[in-house]
Amino acid sequence: MGDSSNIINITVKFSGRSIPINLSLDSTVQDLKSLLQPLTNVLPRGQKLIFKGKLLVNEMTLRESEGGPVLKETQTRMISRQADSGAKMVNEKKEVQVDKNRLERWKLTGVIALAECNLKAIPDEVWACGSLTRFLDVSNNSIQQVPNNINCLTYLQKLFLNANGLSDESISWEGLRTLKCLMVLSVSQNCLNALPPALGVLTSLKQLNVSNNKLTTLPTEISFLTKLEILKANNNRISSIPACIGDCNSLIEVDLSSNHLSELPETFGSLHKLKALHLGNNGLKSLPSSIFKMCLQLSTLDLHNTEVTMDVLRQFEGWEAFDERRRSKHQKQLDFRVVNSAQFDEGADKN
């Protein structure tokens, strides 16, 4: 860094390259961030400027910083992938230092929380925990593969793989088959086109979240998930639901909103424990005829942006009882949001 009068020459390291900047010593860190925005495509609020291990605050002048900062990775995933190699080396060194401690902690608690850690692979230490692991969360990373090694986590109860960009081939479903104790599986915000038959082996599942993928249907093997209580499959491309969904008789909440559904199978009437059903943003024109008659605990129904009309709903047997239940549960929302309480506001039940 050179000095000429009151002008300072700064070299900012970012994404493996050096960016030269010339500005006054009396300029603030915020001024520097503004100059870096068009050069890095990183908004000022997403930038971290580090010099000699010290995080530079926006109000600080460059004179006070006593040198030139280094732009390091930000909290957003997009930018963290562009982090400079120096920053990566520092992070890896720090990780090695705590590996032993965290491995012991994982074994002691059974909880492995690795969300938002800029991971491209699940660390080998995870497999070293084996049957001691009860909870594994590697969400919001860039995990490229869930290998067969996962079969060693034989007592795993909760598995979160959200937002990793995983494809159908990225997950070893054969490895997951051994997880007989798994009660919660969440693979939302990935790139899955289909769920395999192996899903039906996970008979202990109580919660399944496959939302925000590219699914077009659900596998018929879902019928084996008789303990399943919550199914979230919203924001996919699902155009049909298998009739065997009726065998999932423990279901309490089902979210199929924002799909391509034009109808639901009549077997939905077999879901006697169903309390909440979210169907908004679909092409539905009607519902299974027995849904109000048979689903006697149903009290939340979201039909926002569908073609299901009040006239259709009123013709169903059991409508009056359902209407009374939903009004009782959501009376405050109805009083506030519905001008004419005699009308059914299909969006009022949205949680």
CA distances from 278 to 101, 134, 212, 349 (A): 44, 30, 15, 9
Structure tokens at 129: 């925990």
| DSSP β-bridge partners for residue 277 | 254, 301
Q: What sign has the CA pseudo-torsion 161, 216, 282, 311?
A: negative
57 Cβ contact list (under 8 Å, min separation 6): 29
Distance CA 237, CA 104 (A): 43
Class of domain 3-83 as given by CATH: alpha beta
More confident residue, 63 or 30: 30
| pLDDT over 90 percentage in the chain | 62
**pLDDT tens digits, 123-133:** 999 999 999 99
DSSP 101: H
* pLDDT in the model for residue 66: 56
CA geometry: angle 66, 71, 75, nearest 5 deg: 130
Phi-psi region of 132 (alpha: psi -120 to 50; beta: other; left: phi over 0): alpha
Higher pLDDT, residue 344 or 301: 301
Angle value at C-alpha 225, between 220 and 228, nearest 5 degrees: 125
Which of 29, 20, 27, 23 is closest to 7 using CA atoms?
A: 23
Residue 248's pLDDT band, with cuts at 50, 70 and 90, is very high
Q: Write down the CATH number for the domain with range 223-351.
A: 3.80.10.10
Rounded Cα–Cα distance for residues 30 and 45 (Å): 9
Q: Where do the structural domains in the chain lie, given as residue ranges? A: 3-83, 223-351
